């Protein structure tokens, strides 16, 4: 097992333990039923990975199934962590973020007004914004099944590390988002129909975050969780890291880069994000990618094969 794989598993385990302690001492209840589906998925994928490592060796397929299992495990832990950090009682930082946007001439309300006058913009943006998660899966499959295993482990580990950095920043830098901050009129919202909005009493985001902050929401269920982070934008993190992961692979790089660039264009309006959220996400992505790339290169120089077989059964054995 490579060192980046061990680092990923350690981070997931560490935040899993933090979640358990936080829920226990913070008076939260966890709905265990929501854990069944991801746990079954992880077990099945690790079993497949073990089979294609030990019984019928197919290194590429074993790697894809292993890292997919890791990503599923990480997603559940990260979802809980994001809710727990959202329960912290820091003041909303919307004034600072809106001020940052204004400083750089980014007029968020002007964009909303344009989108409100042309509803087709929302219809065009919605499916593009929703491509992020499917593209993560496609990127993993492409990297794994074409033998780019070092890039695969770097990509997934970067996603994991960047996500937990984002979660930790989201606590003290909590924001309600521009839709709520600028009090966008309901009529304009109906015309544009964004994917995410915190405006209005029917907003799930609003009820979840406010419930976490005032103590009325203390039952955490993975089946009903959603993205509650505004700053930094994890949608931006995913797109930037996919662009990095696919660089240098000819037409695949261009195609992936183009699609992710389009996703980034949709993030402010569809994702309820300030420009500040995206800039912070860009900086987090670059920092995490560069640091982990240097670590990976150092491990290889130390004689550790970054593409060594990933055998779950040897988790506690020699590398």
pLDDT of 176 > 90? The answer is no
Reported as a pLDDT band with limits 50, 70 and 90, residue 195 is: low
Taking the C-alpha atoms of residue 253 and residue 292, their distance in angstroms, rounded to an integer, is 21
User: What are 126-173's pLDDT values in tens digits?
Assistant: 889 889 999 999 999 999 989 999 999 999 999 999 999 999 999 999
Predicted local distance difference test score (pLDDT) of residue 123: 79
Taking the C-alpha atoms of residue 219 and residue 23, their distance in angstroms, rounded to an integer, is 10
pLDDT of 100 > 90? The answer is yes
Name the more confident of 183 and 248: 248
Predicted local distance difference test score (pLDDT) of residue 179: 82
Taking the C-alpha atoms of residue 319 and residue 312, their distance in angstroms, rounded to an integer, is 11
Predicted local distance difference test score (pLDDT) of residue 302: 62
Question: Which sign, positive or negative, has the C-alpha torsion 208, 167, 230, 154?
Answer: negative
Name the more confident of 245 and 304: 245
């Amino acid at each position: 097992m490579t060192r980046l794989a061990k680092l990923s598993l350690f981070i997931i385990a560490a935040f899993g333990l933090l979640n358990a302690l936080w829920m226990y001492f913070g008076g939260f209840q966890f709905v265990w039923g929501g854990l069944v589906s991801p746990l079954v998925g992880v077990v099945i994928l690790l079993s497949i990975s073990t089979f294609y490592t030990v019984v019928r060796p197919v290194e590429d397929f074993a790697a894809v199934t292993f890292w997919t299992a890791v990503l599923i495990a990480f997603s559940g832990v990260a979802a809980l962590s994001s809710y727990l950090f959202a329960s912290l009682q820091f003041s909303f930082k919307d004034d600072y973020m809106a001020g940052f946007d204004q400083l750089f001439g980014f007029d968020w309300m002007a964009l909303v007004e344009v989108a409100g006058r042309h509803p087709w913009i929302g219809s065009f943006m919605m499916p593009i914004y929703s491509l992020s998660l499917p593209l993560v899966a496609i990127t993993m499959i492409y990297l794994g099944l074409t033998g780019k295993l070092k890039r695969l482990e770097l990509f997934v580990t970067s996603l994991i590390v960047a996500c937990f950095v984002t979660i930790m920043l989201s606590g003290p830098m909590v924001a309600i988002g521009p839709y709520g901050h600028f009090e966008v009129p309901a009529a304009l919202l109906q015309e544009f129909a964004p994917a995410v909005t915190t405006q209005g009493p029917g907003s799930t985001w609003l009820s979840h975050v406010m419930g976490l902050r005032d103590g009325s929401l203390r039952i955490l269920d993975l089946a009903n969780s959603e993205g509650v982070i505004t700053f930094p934008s994890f949608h931006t993190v995913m797109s930037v890291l996919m662009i990095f992961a696919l660089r240098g692979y000819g037409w695949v790089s261009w195609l992936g880069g183009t699609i992710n660039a389009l996703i980034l264009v949709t993030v402010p309006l569809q994702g309820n994000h300030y420009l500040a959220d995206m800039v912070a996400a860009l900086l987090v992505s670059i920092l995490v990618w560069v640091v982990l790339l240097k670590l990976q290169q150092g491990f290889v120089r130390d004689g550790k094969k970054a593409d060594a077989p990933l055998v779950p059964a040897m988790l506690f054995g020699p590398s």
